[in-house]
Amino acid sequence: MSTTRELVRAAADRLAAAGVGSPEYDAAELLAHVLDTTRGRLLLVDAVEEPQRRRYDDLVARRAAREPLQHLTGSAAFRHVEVAVGPGVFVPRPETELLAGWAIDRAREVVAAGEVPVVVDLCTGSGVIARSIADEVPEARVHAVELDPDAHAWAERNLAGTGVDLRLGDLATAFDELAGQVHVLVSNPPYVPLEAWESVAVEARDHDPHLALFSGDDGLDAIRVIAVRGLLLLRPGGVVGVEHADAQGEAAPAVFSHDGRWEEVRDHRDLAGRPRFLTARRPQS
């Protein structure tokens, strides 16, 4: 039998050699998953039995082959919730928590003003943004749409019992009945340029659905649709927040600012200082 410390150290070395970006973290997370515990409690486990060690070896080998960690554990943590993920759905990224937090803050402002916030999440994927908003702003009426049937099935699972209105459909046509009623529109759309294929991390390129990644030659096709759709869905003074690639810190906001139809267009950086998402407001008139 091996100790948890020995197993994690050996696995981390193996993952590092394979080019995994966070080998120590991933090694510990996988062992905690096998042992049905947490990373913080691993040292309390005296020894790992042989069947558990074999299962761990298998998971480490799959992670070394760059299968996403969250596919191996079956879940992803995001703000105060956990969602189920796996093949067929985009794995939520930590940096998207900032966009979700922005949407939550705006929805809370609506509540503070004595209204019921109407929030729409376009390209919901796993449903994680909609789930977080419903969790942290229970007064909100949250609506979400996803085009890909496989991803929609994951969102259906993650949003069950939350009260979120989830639909299978296209962001360009969804929620016509909410025209002029939405307070907050939020989206983490596909935004990778087709020409950037080789630069995409192996975990995303080989395992995330391409519908969730790529958006035309410059990566801005979906964002252009959101800029048009937002003017229809949002009420006067309503706000939109859209994630984009760090190389699109000027190009993505320009989609909203180029013709003067949006106000207060600005970009926001993530915790690493990289351009991460844009926000804008529909004019009052």
Helices (H) and strands (E) counted in the chain, each on its own, are 10, 9
The reply to whether 70 falls in a domain is: no
Determine if residue 158 is labeled as part of a ligand binding site: no
Predicted confidence band at 40 (pLDDT cuts at 50, 70, 90)?
A: confident
Higher model confidence: residue 125 or residue 45?
125
Q: How far apart are CA 142 and CA 134, in angstroms?
A: 7
Number of folded domains that form the chain:
2
Q: Which domain holds residue 37?
A: 4-65
Do 126 and 264 belong together in one domain? yes
Q: How far apart are CA 174 and CA 194, in angstroms?
A: 25
Predicted confidence band at 199 (pLDDT cuts at 50, 70, 90)?
A: low
Do 105 and 223 belong together in one domain? yes
Do 210 and 248 belong together in one domain? yes
The reply to whether 60 falls in a domain is: yes
Q: How far apart are CA 32 and CA 15, in angstroms?
A: 16
Quick: pLDDT tens for 154-191: 999 999 999 999 999 999 999 999 999 999 999 999 87
Question: What does the buried/exposed string (b/e) look like for 161-195 if buried means 16 or more CB atoms within 10 Å of the residue's CB?
Answer: ebebebbeeebeebbeebeeebbbbbbbbbbbbee
The reply to whether 164 falls in a domain is: yes
The reply to whether 74 falls in a domain is: no
Q: What is the CATH number of the domain that holds 169?
A: 3.40.50.150
How would you class 131 by CB atoms within 10 Å of its CB: exposed for 0-12, middle for 13-18, buried for 19 or more? Answer: buried
Do 273 and 154 belong together in one domain? yes
Do 181 and 232 belong together in one domain? yes
Judged against a pLDDT cut of 70, whether residue 206 lies above it is answered with: no
Determine if residue 25 is labeled as part of a ligand binding site: no
- Say what the pLDDT of residue 48 is: 85
Predicted confidence band at 204 (pLDDT cuts at 50, 70, 90)?
A: low
Determine if residue 191 is labeled as part of a ligand binding site: yes
Do 51 and 110 belong together in one domain? no
The reply to whether 73 falls in a domain is: no
Do 56 and 104 belong together in one domain? no
Do 100 and 52 belong together in one domain? no
Determine if residue 146 is labeled as part of a ligand binding site: yes
Do 34 and 161 belong together in one domain? no
Examine the fold and report which residue of 65, 98, 114 is the final residue of a domain before the chain moves on: 65
Determine if residue 190 is labeled as part of a ligand binding site: yes
Compute the average pLDDT of residues 241-255: 94
CB 124 within 8 A of CB 166: yes
Compute the average pLDDT of residues 140-155: 96
The reply to whether 257 falls in a domain is: yes
CB 252 within 8 A of CB 223: yes
Q: How far apart are CA 217 and CA 246, in angstroms?
A: 16
Do 42 and 137 belong together in one domain? no
The reply to whether 72 falls in a domain is: no
Higher model confidence: residue 108 or residue 195?
108
Q: How far apart are CA 111 and CA 210, in angstroms?
A: 37
Q: What is the DSSP string of 118-182?
A: EEEEES-TTTHHHHHHHHH-TTSEEEEEES-HHHHHHHHHHHTTS--EEEES-TTTTTGGGTTTE
End-to-end Cα spacing for the chain? 71
Q: How far apart are CA 140 and CA 111, in angstroms?
A: 8
Rounded to two decimals, the pTM is 0.86
Do 164 and 270 belong together in one domain? yes
Compute the average pLDDT of residues 11-22: 94
Compute the average pLDDT of residues 64-72: 90
Predicted confidence band at 3 (pLDDT cuts at 50, 70, 90)?
A: confident
The reply to whether 139 falls in a domain is: yes
- Say what the pLDDT of residue 98 is: 97
CB 90 within 8 A of CB 84: no
How far, in whole angstroms, is CA 244 from its chain's centroid? 12
User: Which residue is listed with tokens 């020409």?
Assistant: 195
Do 247 and 192 belong together in one domain? yes
